[in-house]
C-alpha cells in the first residue's frame, strides 16, 4: 500500500514540476507516466538490495522513455526528461548533506557527501549512456537508409 501511494505521488510530483516549468497538454501526461514508471523501476530493482543499481536502472528507463516520447512529440529530449527525473533527483540527500555540514562539520558528513556524489554521477552517467546509444542507433539507421537509396 505504502509503495502504491509513493508511486502515485511520484507521478503527481512529476506532473506538478512539469506545470511549474510551464508545460501543458499531452506533455504533462507523458511526464506523469514517466515519473510513475521511474519509481516503479526504482522500487522493483531496489528489492535486490542495491540502491545505486536501482537508481541507475530507473534513470536509464526514464531517459529511454524521454528519448522515445521526444521523438513522438517532436520536442527536445530535455523537455520531457527534466520533469520525469524529479522523483529520482537527490534533493533530499543534498539538503541532508548541507544540514549535516552545518550542524556537525564537514568531517562528520563524508558518508553523506560520498553518497550524494555517487547518486548524481550515476544519474548523469545513465542519461548520457542512453543518449549515446540513441545517437549510435540513429547514425547506423541513417547510414543503412542512405545506402539503400544510393
Partner 1 sequence: MNPIDTRTIKSILDAGEIILKSGGEVNRVEDTITRMCLAYGFLRADVFTITSSIVVTVQTAQGEMITQTRRIYGYDTNLQRVHHINQLARQVCDSPLPIHSLEEEIEKIKNTPTLSLKKNMMVHALIAAVFSVFYGGGLRECCIGALIGVGLCLLLHYGESVIQNPLLRYFFCSAIGSLGICLFYHGGIDFNREAVALGNIMLLIPGLALTNAIRDMMNGDTVSGLLRLCDSLLRALAIAAGFISIMTLIGGFLS
Asked whether 53 and 41 are in contact (CB, 8 A), the reply is: no
Alpha carbon 115 to chain centroid, angstroms: 17
User: By C-beta, is 53 or 91 nearer to partner 1?
Assistant: 91
User: By C-beta, is 72 or 147 nearer to partner 1?
Assistant: 72
Q: How far is the CB of 20 from partner 1 (least distance, A)?
A: 5
Asked whether 48 and 22 are in contact (CB, 8 A), the reply is: no
Q: How far is the CB of 3 from partner 1 (least distance, A)?
A: 12
Nearest of 60, 5, 64, 57 to residue 36 by alpha carbon: 5
Q: How far is the CB of 37 from partner 1 (least distance, A)?
A: 15
Output the CA angle 14-130-6, nearest 5 degrees. 25
Q: Which residue reads 524521454 in cell numbers?
A: 66
Asked whether 19 and 28 are in contact (CB, 8 A), the reply is: yes
User: By C-beta, is 48 or 102 nearer to partner 1?
Assistant: 102
User: By C-beta, is 92 or 146 nearer to partner 1?
Assistant: 92
Q: Backbone dihedral region of 23: left (phi > 0), alpha (psi from -120 to 50 degrees) or beta?
A: beta
Q: How far is the CB of 47 from partner 1 (least distance, A)?
A: 19
Alpha carbon 27 to chain centroid, angstroms: 16
**Contact positions vs partner 1 (CB under 8 A):** 5-6, 9-10, 12-13, 16-24, 74-76, 78-79, 82-83, 85-87, 89-92, 94-99, 101-103, 120-121, 123-125, 127-128
User: By C-beta, is 17 or 56 nearer to partner 1?
Assistant: 17
Q: How far is the CB of 148 from partner 1 (least distance, A)?
A: 23
Amino acid at each position: 500500500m505504502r509503495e502504491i501511494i509513493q508511486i502515485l505521488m511520484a507521478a503527481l510530483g512529476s506532473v506538478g514540476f512539469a506545470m511549474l516549468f510551464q508545460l501543458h497538454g499531452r506533455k504533462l501526461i507523458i511526464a506523469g507516466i514517466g515519473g510513475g514508471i521511474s519509481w516503479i523501476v526504482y522500487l522493483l530493482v531496489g528489492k535486490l538490495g542495491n540502491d545505486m543499481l536501482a537508481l541507475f536502472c530507473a534513470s536509464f528507463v526514464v531517459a529511454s522513455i524521454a528519448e522515445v516520447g521526444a521523438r513522438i512529440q517532436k520536442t527536445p529530449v530535455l523537455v520531457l526528461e527534466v520533469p520525469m527525473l524529479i522523483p529520482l533527483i537527490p534533493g533530499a540527500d543534498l539538503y541532508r548533506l548541507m544540514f549535516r555540514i552545518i550542524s556537525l562539520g564537514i568531517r562528520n558528513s563524508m558518508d553523506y557527501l560520498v553518497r550524494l556524489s555517487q547518486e548524481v554521477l550515476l544519474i548523469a552517467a545513465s542519461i548520457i549512456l542512453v543518449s549515446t546509444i540513441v545517437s549510435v542507433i540513429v547514425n547506423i539507421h541513417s547510414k543503412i537508409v542512405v545506402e539503400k537509396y544510393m
